[in-house]
Structure 1
Amino acid sequence: MNAPAALAVTRATVLRTLRDRTALFFMLLLPVAVIVVIGAVVGGFGGFRIGVVHADEPSRAPVAAALAGELERADGLKTRTYADEAAARTALRRGETDAVVLVPAGLDAAAREGRPVTVPVLVPESAAMGGAAVSSVSAAVARHAAEVQAARFAADEAGGTFDQRLDQARAAGRHVTPIEVGTEAVSGRSQYLPLGYGYSTPTMLVLFVFINALAGGAAIVETRRSGVYGRALASPAGAGTLVLGETAAYLILALIQSALIVGIGALAFGVSWGDPLAAALLVGVWALVGTGAGMLSGAVFRTPEQAGAIGPAVGIGLGMLGGCMWPLAIVPDWLRTVGHTVPHAWAVDSWTVLLSQDGGVLDIARNLAVLAAFAAGLLALAAIGLRRRLTGP
């Protein structure tokens, strides 16, 4: 094995790739763009969308208008007023709202007279969000009802008009310190990556390192076809030296891309990558998996066009199967099992442990071993295939 010759091959391949603007676009700009889009789409829960329909004209029904105001101010609710119930029902069917509050006619008169009032809330029949939305609406309605009851009681016991006592009840409510209920997950074992960029950045790292490596196999195919390898084999450098040099180059490129995504995720998007040692090991092992895939692409495909067209399509398909597009925790058991036949699922599982479960090296040791086995298998197949391409007829 000629080490200087292998280093020369590595240096030439790395420099050629870094000077290629198209390659840099796919290595850096495209992954970042996809991270931003997906991170924004799954950016987390922004509040229940609540439609409000007034049966009475709000300007003539101050109590009903105050109820709508309470819904607007409530945490976790985004309200929108609809002209009539038909329009609100249409929006509900289209998924534009999570629930619709029908402020009933005669609400003001009933409040002044102390009669009970029912506030209907419409939710989609099969929507899981509906029940949670109703709970949030009920809390806001209960706060408003408490003010109305206090005003009714004060007007009956101390005199004065209902409207005067209602204003006093609202003013007093603003000076009351609320009692909040805090929740804390103890020993949480979330099976999902954090929403937002905490989801998109690690999954896109897994996806694009693999895709770019597969597409990069086109450079090996082109080098084979151009006769560069043939001329190199006429020198003291053997086929093993060329394979080693190309392998080192693809590993360096995979690590560069991984480091860029990790750095941009941490600095620009505030992504926490968990335990540093575990994250570094995972990035390194995944870079080896990508290296093996890229080298195998260069050995298998006959033309650069095949590698450039088929390679990314295969990478995207495997990424979808392995949970880069959606969590495997939400798919059927059989599909989850099939997904773990590809290395992507083991990588995404590992990031889930690190980012959502505060895991360390020991917690992902089994996954790292599986990924290392994938990397070893891909590298071995690539080395055998490429040597045959270089030394064959």
Structure 2
Amino acid sequence: MTALTIMATGLRRLARDRTALFFMVLLPIVIILVIGATVRDTGEIRIGVVAAERTPLATELVTDLRQSPAVSVTDYAGESEARNALRRNELDAVLIVPAGLDGTLRSGGTVTIPLLGSAAQSIQQAARSAVSGLVARHAARVEAARFTVDNLGGTFDERLATATRLQASVGTVTVRTETVDATSDYLPLGFSYSAPTMLVLFVFINALAGGAAIIESRRLGIYDRVCAAPIRPHDIVFGETLTYLAVALLQSLLIVGIGAVLFGVRWGDPLAAAALITVWALVGTGTGILAGTLFRTPEQAGAIGPAIGIACGMLGGAMWPLEIVPQTMRTIGHITPHAWAIDGWIEILSRGGGIPQIATQLTVLAAVALTLLTIASIRLGRRLTA
């Protein structure tokens, strides 16, 4: 009961600390919202369309493009506005529908339709493939209508309507993409990768910075006054442990909730996700208490702690996937617990893994947590009895 009272007191004190709340609650939310708004999990290609004329053939081309499930179309009044949107990464490509499109095609001429792309080569290729396929399909109808008019007579509009009906009845070839090697180290897409890495990063950083609370309590003599009461030192240690664990779990649940509700992140098997969150919260708890016994002043904990957390996050794959770095750096990265936690999330989110599939990661993280908690408890206990 004493430990729970200490935990409740610690949480109330934290709730009144606006600086701590900013770093533990507001800052993660802001970064999650920014990344979630810019990282898209959808496979849609964002294409801006600038149509010089709203003639029937030009309108039909834009309509065909808009109906494609792989493309998201935004209309722009002028090319300058569309180019600016492309530079700001609001678009992946810009399609310029030139003036005189209808007249040139009706007379049998050739029309060049410019497609402006972004700097990323992969996005350029995807946009070019999506647009060229639609343009070719549109051009086939126009060519068929033109050929029929030249050889059988009739009006162009009548023959184009006939070609459109016939084209709809002709069978098509569907290309399906399937991942054959289900055990490969592929990553979750977009925000589904960013969300768990931010959970790993922020829980660890805030735990390190939160060590300042223990230092402040020692400096103000709070522990001395508590020890003057009939309260044993190990009750204080246990209460502080529960406080840090509660904060880590609450912050984890906050990130999970924001990712799921606002950005549709699916966190995989509930039991596996809960186990990974819990064991990582224990790692953060041990780290935070240990920081409170190692740093001398709250300023040191607030300045040095986050720097250490960011460095570990960079090595462990919280800033970028370890799959893109050389094998040597990947091995070094697994010295940090971050890499094991992120490996566990990749197993859960990419491959639908459960607890058996992440047993190795859970074991390593549990060992790290037990080591940190043991050392931190011994050191804090000594500080209380010194």
Same fold per superposition (TM over 0.5): yes
103, 126, 129: which one pairs with 2:123? 129
Higher mean C-alpha deviation, range 316-325 or range 278-287: 316-325
Deviation at 1:160, TM superposition (A): 0.8
Per the alignment, do residues 301 and 66 of structure 1 end up closer, same or farther by CA in structure 2, a change over 3 Å counting? same
Number of residue pairs matched?
384
Query: How has the CA–CA distance of structure 1 residues 231 and 108 changed in structure 2, closer, same or farther, with 3 Å as cutoff?
Result: closer
Secondary structure of the residue aligned to 2:314 is helix
SS at match of 1:325: coil
Deviation at 1:210, TM superposition (A): 1.7
Whether the 8 Å contact between 1:320 and 1:326 is mirrored in structure 2 is yes
Please tell me whether residue 142 in structure 1 is matched to residue 136 in structure 2: yes
Q: Does 1:318 align with 2:312?
A: yes
Query: In the alignment, is residue 9 of structure 1 matched against residue 16 of structure 2?
Result: no
For residues 105 and 16 of structure 1, the distance between their equivalents in structure 2, rounded to whole angstroms, comes to 68
Map of 2:29 onto structure 1 = 32
**Contact kept in structure 2, 1:322 and 1:343, CA below 8 Å:** yes
Q: CA deviation at 1:31?
A: 2.7
- Note closer, same or farther for the CA distance 1:91–1:332 as it changes in structure 2 (3 Å cut): farther
The 1-side partners of 2:230 and 2:382 are apart by: 18
Q: Work out which of the residue numbers 171, 178, 186 in structure 2 matches 1:191.
A: 186
- Cα pair 1:28 1:261 within 8 Å, conserved: no
State the alpha-carbon separation in 1 of the partners of residues 82 and 36 from structure 2: 30
Paired residue type of 1:306: Q
AA of the residue aligned to 1:193 = P
Matching residue's letter, 2:370: A
CA–CA distance in structure 2, aligned partners of residues 53 and 15 of structure 1: 57
The one-letter code of the counterpart of 2:37 is: A
CA distance in 1, matches of 2:217, 2:318: 32
Distance in 2, matches of 1:94 and 1:36, equals 18
Say whether the 8 Å CA contact 2:48–2:91 is kept in structure 1.
yes
SS at match of 1:302: coil
What corresponds to 1:307 in structure 2? 301
Is 1:152 matched with 2:152?
no
Question: Is contact 2:53-2:99 (8 Å) kept?
Answer: no
Which of 38, 43, 52 is the equivalent residue of 2:40?
43
Flag the 1:334–1:63 CA change in 2: closer, same or farther, 3 A: same
Q: Which runs of 5+ in 1 are unaligned?
A: none
Tell me, what secondary structure is at the counterpart of 1:362?
coil
- Whether contact under 8 Å (1:123, 1:130) holds in the other structure is yes
Matched, 1:345 2:342: no
In structure 2, distance between residues paired with 1:231 and 1:244: 17
Corresponding letter in the other structure for 2:41 = G
| In structure 2, C-alpha distance between the alignment counterparts of 1:156 and 1:296, rounded to whole Å | 85
- Runs of 5+ in structure 2 lacking a partner? none
**1:383 equivalent among 354, 377, 384:** 377
Once the two structures are TM-superposed, the CA of residue 186 in structure 1 deviates from its matched residue by 5.0
Q: Secondary structure at the match of 1:220?
A: helix
Using the TM superposition, name which of 204-213 and 216-225 deviates more: 204-213
Tell me which amino acid in the other structure corresponds to 1:191: Y
The TM-score normalised by the length of structure 1 is 0.80
**Is the CA contact (8 Å cut-off) linking 2:185 and 2:323 kept in structure 1?**
no
Q: Does structure 2 conserve the Cα–Cα contact (< 8 Å) formed by 1:193 and 1:351?
A: no
- Which amino acid is 2:35 matched to? I
Cα deviation code 1:185-240 (max 9, x no counterpart): 456446323433x3343223222222222222111111111122234444554544
Task: Give me the whole-angstrom Cα distance separating, in 2, the residues matched to 1:125 and 1:175.
Answer: 39
Task: Please name the residue that 1:214 is paired with.
Answer: 208
Distance of 1:264 and 1:232 partners within structure 2: 38
Letter matched to residue 292 of structure 1: G
Whether 1:250 and 2:244 are equivalent positions in the alignment is: yes
Over aligned residue pairs, what C-alpha RMSD do you find?
A: 3.7
Contact kept, 8 Å, 1:101 with 1:121, in 2: the verdict is yes
Is the 8 Å Cα contact of residues 190 and 357 (structure 1) preserved in structure 2?
no
Aligned to 1:367: 361
Amino acid at match of 2:30: A
| Residues 42, 195 of structure 1: 8 Å contact kept | yes
| Residue of structure 2 in register with 1:355 after alignment | 349
Note the alpha carbon deviations across 1:99-154, whole angstroms, 9 max, x for none: 56566798656644656666565656862222222111111111111211221232
Counterpart CA distance in 1 for 2:48 and 2:8 is 62
- CA distance in structure 2 between the partners assigned to 1:10 and 1:18 by the alignment: 12
The code of the aligned residue for 1:276 comes to P
Matched residue of 2:357: which SS?
helix
**CA displacement at 1:280 relative to structure 2:** 1.6
Looking at structure 1, the residues matched to 81 and 195 of structure 2 have their Cα atoms a distance apart, in angstroms, of: 39
Give the conservation status (yes or no) of the 8 Å contact 1:218–1:298: yes
> Once the 2 structures are TM-superposed, how far is the Cα of residue 40 of structure 1 from its aligned partner?
1.6
Comparing 122-131 with 148-157, which one deviates more in the overlay? 122-131
Distance (Å, rounded) in 2 between the aligned partners of 1:180 and 1:275: 32
DSSP 3-state at the match of 1:291: helix
Quick one: structure 1 residues 67 and 245, their matched pair in 2 at CA, closer, same or farther if it must change by over 3 Å? closer
**TM-score calculated relative to the size of structure 2:** 0.81
Other structure's SS at 2:143 match: helix
The letter for the 2-side match of 1:40 is A
